[in-house]
Amino acid sequence: MTLDLKTVKHISKLARISVDEEKANKLAGDLNSIFEFIEKLNELNTENVEPLTSVANTTLRFREDEVQSQNIREKILSNSPDNNEDFFVVPKVVE
């Protein structure tokens, strides 16, 4: 998979990042080298390899699920930028 300049500009527009022509060319090269590395990783035979959750050889300690705090709704909603009784009100970010 290779990314061309048009695709990089489209991605930057979706991410709301302004990228000039020079940066877009460099970014396209960087992203293409990342995708090449990913494609090399996909070629590896992982047939008999068990998945890991961590590279450290440790086991997780289990604990009971316990409610730590109750009835803190008002305290949480007091942090809302706009006053509302039921939920957080935040500025619209999707057009």
Task: Give the pLDDT confidence score for residue 68 in this predicted structure.
Answer: 83
Provide the residue ranges of all domains of the chain, joining segments of one domain with +: 5-42
Q: Can you state the angle between helices 5-14 and 21-42, rounded to 10 degrees?
A: 100
DSSP state letters, the chain: ----HHHHHHHHHHTT----HHHHHHHHHHHHHHHHHHHHHHTS--TTPPP-S-SS---PPP--------S-HHHHHTT-SS--SSS--------
Q: Tens of pLDDT along 7-48?
A: 999 999 999 999 999 999 999 999 999 999 999 999 999 899
- pLDDT one-digit tens code per residue, 48-73: 988 887 888 878 788 888 888 888 88
Give residue 43's pLDDT.
Answer: 92
If you classify domain 5-42 with CATH, what class do you get? mainly alpha
pTM of this structure:
0.50
Structure-block tokens of residue 92: 């619209």
